[in-house]
Amino acid sequence: MGKFAKYEIDLKALQPGAVVAYDYELDNAFFEAIDSAEVQRGNVKVRLVVKKTAGAFELDFQTDGTVIVPCDRCLDDMEQPVTSRDQLMVKFGEEYGEVDDLIIVPEEEGTINVAWLMFEFVVLAIPMKHVHAPGRCNKEMTRKLNAHLSTTADDEDDTDVDEELDDDAERPIDPRWNELKKIIDNN
Ligand SMILES: [Zn+2]
């Protein structure tokens, strides 16, 4: 049995009209087993409802939980809530295939493994931009990034991050101003 055996759904065994619910908990071990850089830790609950209709299966995934991902601003780990509702249709056919929200599985096998599907739904539920709540970023890292940006931002490429850093009350004073202040004070 592979490490994802428990995510294998035996569609062939379902009677017409059957509605079956499956509950999964995607924990750190799950994300480690998936072995993707996108999400390495988390705790996500998925309720999958499989409905057998005429000639097809409707799969309805409700995903709720949190994943640990690096903050876009300070790169420290942060908890990102994820919630998603996803629906797929599965039909039997000659060989594996995927068209939009329709998945074809070989009728001989009659099963579908939902581990990777659930992982994809989790990844898609992570917002493009994910940062700590205000004031929760790693101050040390924020300062280093700020210092780095002030020496490389001449081309105005990094205005987005600069604006973020402006919110930080502990933003350090540009050392060049300190030098200037000394000159002024000495006169
Ligand atoms: Zn942060």
Distance 71 CA to ligand 1 centre (A): 5
State the residue range of the domain holding 170.
139-186
Q: What angle do CA 89, 91, 96 make, to 5 degrees?
A: 105
pLDDT for 150 equals 81
The pLDDT value given to residue 178: 57
Ligand 1 center to 96 CA (angstroms):
42
| Cα 156 to averaged position of ligand 1 atoms, centre (Å) | 22
Q: Establish how many alpha carbons lie within 13 A of residue 49's alpha carbon, considering only the half-sphere containing its beta carbon.
A: 10
Instruction: Check: CB of residue 44 under 8 Å from CB of residue 66.
Output: yes
Regarding whether 17 and 85 lie in a shared domain, the answer is yes
**Ligand 1 centre and the CA of 147: distance in Å?**
16
Q: Are residues 53 and 91 in the same domain?
A: yes
Ligand 1 centroid–CA 66 distance in Å is 16
Ligand 1 centroid to Cα of residue 162, in Å, is: 14
Asked, for residue 36, whether it belongs to a domain, the answer is: yes
Secondary structure of the chain as H, E, C letters: CCCCHHHEEEHHHCCCCCEEEEEEEECHHHHHHHCCCCCCEEEEEEEEEEEEECCEEEEEEEEEEEEEEECCCCCCEEEEEEEEEEEEEEEEECCCEEECCEEEEECCCCEEECHHHHHHHHHHCCCCCCCCCCCCCCHHHHHHHHHHHHHHHHHCCCHHHHHHHHCCCCCCCCHHHHHHHHHHHHC
CA of 109 to the centre of ligand 1 (A): 46
- Above 70 in pLDDT, residue 167? no
What are 106-157's pLDDT values in tens digits? 999 999 999 999 999 999 999 999 999 999 999 998 888 888 888 775 554 4
Distance 72 CA to ligand 1 centre (A): 7
Structure confidence at residue 2 (pLDDT)? 79
| Cα 51 to ligand 1 centre (Å) | 42
The pTM of this model reads 0.75
What does the pLDDT look like over 86-95, one tens digit per residue? Answer: 999 999 999 9
> What pLDDT does 156 receive?
47
Q: How many alpha carbons fall within 13 Å on the CB side of residue 36?
A: 15
Are 44 and 122 in contact, with CB atoms under 8 Å apart? yes
pLDDT at site 149: 81
CA of 34 to the centre of ligand 1 (A): 25
Domain count for the chain, please give it: 2
Specify if 70 maps to a domain.
yes
Predicted local distance difference test score (pLDDT) of residue 78:
95
pLDDT of residue 54: 87
pLDDT for residue 163: 47
User: Are 116 and 144 part of one and the same domain?
Assistant: no
Ligand 1 centroid – CA 136 distance (Å): 6
**53 and 145 fall within a common domain:** no
In this model, does residue 80 exceed pLDDT 70? Answer: yes
**Statement: residue 173 has pLDDT above 70:** no
Residues of the chain above pLDDT 90, percent = 67
pLDDT at position 185: 60
Classify residue 79: in a domain, yes or no: yes
Distance 141 CA to ligand 1 centre (A): 9
The string of pLDDT tens digits covering residues 45-72 is 999 999 999 889 999 999 999 999 999 9
Mean pLDDT of the chain: 86
